[in-house]
Chain A
Amino acid sequence: MNKILSISDSVLFVFIMLVSLFGLALLYSATNQDVDIVIRQGSRLLFCFILMIIVSSIEINKLKQLTPYIYIICLIFLAITLFWGHDSKGAKRWIIIMGFSLQVSEILKITVPMMLAWYFSLSDDKDISLKKLIFSFLIIFAPIFFVIKQPDLGTSLIILLCGTITIFLGGIRKKYIAYLSGLLIVFMPVMWKFLLLPYQKQRIITMFDPASDPLGSGYHIMQSKIAVGSGGFFGKGFLNGTQSQLEFLPERGTDFIFAVFAEEFGFIGILILLLFYMAIIIRCVYITSKAKNYFSKILSGSITAILILLIITNISMAVGVLPVVGVTLPLLSLGGSSLISIFLAFGIIFSVNRRN
């Protein structure tokens, strides 16, 4: 039965279902009980489920063959976004396709590692040479070029991290790791000076000292920390979070959905949520370890790590240890594009598992 539905791991499937359905309930609270938004997100969820099942039914080798095309389509969409994208708050991040707005940069979190995995599995020589390394970074930076132009530095950095994870798993030599780290340290001040816009610098500064700008960007971090902290051990209860219900917390549905959760369900709730995430991740690790094929192994390994990375990044934002970079919380945050990328990832995992 499961095989027919291409869902090869019922435990993973059940946990994904549970978390994402709970996400709808959390969204109901985060949006001040706006049923319209919840229904819209529910339909997105349904769409993504179908997408996941379709992807999972595709043979993993077939998926591998399709990878370069998917990558190129992403690049084309990014270019379109840049020229004809939907303008919002001074940034062009969305394109409207058949009435749905799509943020292509979200999907890159999965498609860039996919492309890298494809590239690494091309040659039989699994050793990563300098030439290979340079080409790998070209694969990463080609889409990032567009994303920076949008401008969206946060997502660019996340894409870079996702790609780096794949290169790391692909077996990059320790020597290169050392070189790259050195390079990063040297270039950090240069980047600070020339690459970052004033508001981006401000975000980073206020992260370390939110009181320096309590009404500007520091306000978000401060209110989020208040929401998390005032949740206490047991939380204020569902729909009873004052920070969220009275709208002190900004971006409640997206960036700070974790703060809504933390306020209403408390420390104990967070531990339970993390256990659920852990269950999902453990299944992913298990599937990765069982992967028979080089491409699927690297890809599912990357996806697993990226999943953890996204969760950590989003929570870090909410508790004020990372600047607000606009990373959504997998399965819980409002928004279609991030949902598509997450369910695309799970589709791949299921596809990998099917081959096992």
Chain B
Amino acid sequence: MRKSFWDFNRVNAERLFNNRFAILILILSVLTIFLIIRIYFLQVVSFKHFDTLSETNRIKYIQTPPRRGIIYDRNNIVLADNSSFYSVEINIKESKDVIKIINAVNKEIGLTKKEIEIFHKKKSRYSHHNSIVLKSNLNDAEIAKVLAIRYKYDGLDVTASLMRKYPHNEITAHVLGNIGYIDKKDLFVLDRKKYKNVKYTGKTGIEKYYENVLYGDPGYKRVEVNARGRQIRDIEEQSATPGSDVHLTLDIELQKFMYSKLKDYAGSSILMNPKNGEILAMVSSPTINPNDKLWNFKTDNEAIKKLKSPMFNRSINGLYSPGSTIKPILALNGLHNKIIESKTEYYAGPFFQLPNSNRRYRDWKPEGHGIVDLEKAIIQSCDVYFYMLANNLGIQKMTSFFKYFSFGEKTGIDMPYESSGVLPTNEWKVKNIGHKWTKGDTVITGIGQGYFLTTPIQLAYATSIIANNGSIVIPKLNKNIQMKKNKKILEKENYLKNKISLKDWETINNAMFKVVNQENGTAYWATKNKYNNISGKTGTVQVYSLSQKTDVREKEDIPDYLKDHSLYIGYAPKENPEIVIATIIENIGSGSKYAAPISNEIINYYFDNIREKY
């Protein structure tokens, strides 16, 4: 009887089931208790930890970049300003498929091949920033189109940025410098914390030198974001502190005039006030319009290739032999060291020769100057006179005296990357050229040729010292700062003012006045209007040496790049000078033909049109 068997076993089977069921429920209950303990640990014991994690998930700090300070000229005319523009950006960290996004954007607003190329280039380059610009300067319709598809693609966004605008275009280009993408090198100098959400920084010129002033302090926004990085709402905001404005010593009208005179040449001109070091105009030519994107593409651009190094700031980086412009200082050296006296006359033939040497050091005047004293030597720029003087002084005395005028050193102007030029000595030549210094080297240094190299700003600076009879002022572009003279400069000034007699200063100042105002002066014919009492000195720098065998100067056959550099230094008025100028024009011809007339025109423009404003 099967039924009875089940009945027989029923009690047994039920007991077994109850037993098993109890075990099972017990096991599961124990597991549940473990689980509750686990939850207790997560929610109560480790609450702080997980709460922080959840807050860092949802809250992001976003830096808001400050508005960059405006740059003004001395009359509060804007030289650099900001204007806003919109660009499409892709955040490569947030986006899943960059190519897909680019195609989608391309479909909406159209991208050029170049734009896509540049995007990929930037993508592969290092950046501390994940957003990369795909297209800039969007118009309203384009903005709307991109915004319409934005929700479909994580990482795609339209951002408003401030763009630097330079209303005077290329006229102020080299002084103001430019701003560009922050690169690795910049990050060494910049405070990373302040540049988290910023792509640009000052790269050259005033923009670079006064980066800390112009930049300001970034603000921040605490925003709530979702898992895909989209901003949901602002929680807290602190607005950025805009950068401070910078007021320059430049006079834009004078700058414009100077630029108009130089724009057809390669060269530089600097006009500065010797009383306070204020630079009123400073031009380096050629240049390019910083508002064009050219600044970002460097040398591979066709338009740039055609020009002669337009990115090169000749005013502070161009290295030129000073040529005859050095003669007044050398004359002062001779007087000071009692090698010559102002009235002593010498015979200056067509050339100078060192004893026991066949080499002829020619004068620029083929027939020679005849009988010359110091004044005449400066007025007519007699080379032979200064060959002799240099030979008698020796290189030691020459360089140690040039040092008082800070040749071979930075002037300390408030511009970045200033060059120091070269003030050669025996040690310098052995180290850099590999040969010992020769007497011949000394001779040609006497007319500012050879290894001696200066920058235009150094020439302007040295000229200001001459105009000041030894007082030193450091050139500056920022109107509101006081340039501090360090101990070394003060020592030099002390020497120049106290150790050199006023009579000697006056001798060379008088000679320089006559260069412009006496009929046989090298700059006499170059200066039409003499009512402003200009003093000056011309210089012509040979870029190549004439053959020793021939005296014939076939200037017509020389290619452009071997033509002489034309130099001029000057100041006005004679008594109590208020402006100093230094001008260099490359590969053009003599100083009296080009640099002198241009410089004196600029000086006259200053007195006729600018000075009355102050």
Chain A interfacial positions (CB closer than 8 Å to B): 124-126, 165, 168-169, 171, 223, 225-233, 242-243, 246-248, 262, 266-267, 270-271, 274, 285, 288-289, 294, 297-298, 301, 304-305, 308-309, 311-312, 315-316, 319, 321
Is B234 interfacial (CB 8 A cutoff)? no
Q: B54 is contacted by which of A233, A242, A297, A315 (Cβ under 8 Å)? A: A242
Q: How far is the CB of A272 from chain B (nearest CB, A)?
A: 12
8 A Cβ contacts from B223-254 to A = 224-228, 232
Contact A225 B42 (CB under 8 A): yes
| A248-B58, A294-B13 as given contacts; A232 in contact with B47, CB under 8 Å | yes
**Cα distance A231–B57 in the bound complex, in angstroms:** 14
- Segment 11-60 of B: residues with Cβ below 8 Å from A: 12-14, 16-18, 20-21, 24-25, 28, 31-32, 35-36, 38-40, 42-44, 46-47, 49-51, 53-55, 57-58
Q: Which residues of A contact B49 (CB under 8 A)?
A: 229
Q: If A233-B44, A246-B58 touch, does A228 touch B39 (CB 8 Å cutoff)?
A: yes
B2 beta carbon closer than 8 Å to chain A = yes
We find that the number of chain B residues with CB closer than 8 angstroms to chain A is: 42
B302 nearest CB across to chain A (Å):
45
> In the assembled complex, which residues on chain B have CB atoms less than 8 Å from the CB atom of A227?
54
A126: contacting residue among B9, B18, B40, B226, CB under 8 A: B9
By beta carbon, the residue of chain B nearest A278 is: B32
Least CB distance, A321 to chain B, in whole angstroms: 6
A305 touches B24 (CB 8 A): yes
Contact B25 A270 (CB under 8 A): no
| Chain B residues engaging chain A, CB cutoff 8 angstroms | 2-3, 5-6, 9, 12-14, 16-18, 20-21, 24-25, 28, 31-32, 35-36, 38-40, 42-44, 46-47, 49-51, 53-55, 57-58, 224-228, 232
Query: B258 to chain A: closest CB distance in Å?
Result: 60
Contacts of A230 in B (CB 8 A): 47, 50-51, 53-55
B16 and A171: CB pair below 8 A? yes
Cβ of B13 and Cβ of A225 under 8 Å apart?
no
The complex places the Cα of A168 from the Cα of B17 at a distance, in Å, of 9
How many Å lie between the Cα of A305 and that of B29 in the bound state? 10
Q: Is B6's CB under 8 angstroms from A229's CB? A: no
The 8 closest A-B pairs by CB, nearest first: A229-B50, A230-B54, A246-B226, A247-B227, A229-B42, A126-B13, A308-B28, A267-B43
Chain B residue at smallest Cβ distance from A246: B226
Known: A124-B5, A165-B24, A228-B39. A248 touches B227 (CB 8 A): yes
The CA-CA distance from A301 to B25 in the complex, in Å, is 10
CB-CB < 8 A to B13: which residues of A? 126, 171, 294
Cβ contacts under 8 Å, B55 to chain A: 230, 242
Known: A243-B57, A321-B38. 10 other contacts (CB 8 A): A169-B24, A226-B57, A229-B42, A229-B49, A229-B54, A262-B39, A267-B39, A274-B32, A285-B25, A319-B35
Question: Quick one: which of A226, A233, A308 has the most chain B CB within 10 A?
Answer: A226
- The 19 sampled A-B contact pairs (Cβ below 8 Å) are A126-B13, A168-B24, A171-B20, A223-B57, A228-B43, A229-B50, A230-B47, A232-B44, A233-B44, A233-B47, A243-B58, A247-B227, A271-B36, A285-B25, A301-B21, A301-B24, A308-B32, A312-B32, A315-B39
Q: How far is the CB of A35 from chain B (nearest CB, A)?
A: 20
Select A226's contact among B12, B20, B50, B225, beta carbons within 8 Å. Answer: B50
Which residues in B have their C-beta under 8 angstroms from that of A126? 9, 12-13, 16
Bound CA span A270–B42, Å = 12
- The chain A residue with its CB closest to the CB of B18 is A289
Q: A230-B51, A312-B32, A321-B38 are in contact. Are A246 and B17 (CB under 8 A)?
A: no
- Chain B residues within 8 Å of A246, by CB: 57-58, 224-227, 232
**Residues in A whose Cβ lies below 8 Å from that of B224:** 242, 246
Residues on the B chain within 8 Å of A267, using CB: 39-40, 43-44
Contacts of B20 in A (CB 8 A): 168-169, 171
Complex interface: chain A residues within 8 A of B42 (CB): 225, 228-229, 319
A309 lies within 8 A of B35 (CB): no
On chain B, the residues within 8 Å of A124 by CB distance are 2-3, 5-6, 9
Residue numbers in A under 8 Å from B47 (CB-CB): 229-230, 232-233
Contacts of A262 in B (CB 8 A): 39, 43
Q: Which residue of B lies closest to A123 (CB)?
A: B2
Contact status of A242 and B58, CB under 8 A, knowing A169-B20, A267-B44, A305-B25:
yes
Task: Flag if B35 contacts A315 (CB, 8 Å).
Answer: yes
- Closest beta carbon of chain B to A149's beta carbon, Å: 30
Q: CB distance B39 to A270 under 8 Å?
A: yes
Residues of chain B contacted by A248 (CB below 8 angstroms) = 54, 57-58, 226-227
Give the distance to chain A from B230, nearest Cβ to Cβ, in Å: 9
Please determine whether A305 and B28 come into contact, CB atoms closer than 8 angstroms.
yes
| Docked CA distance A243–B53 (Å) | 10
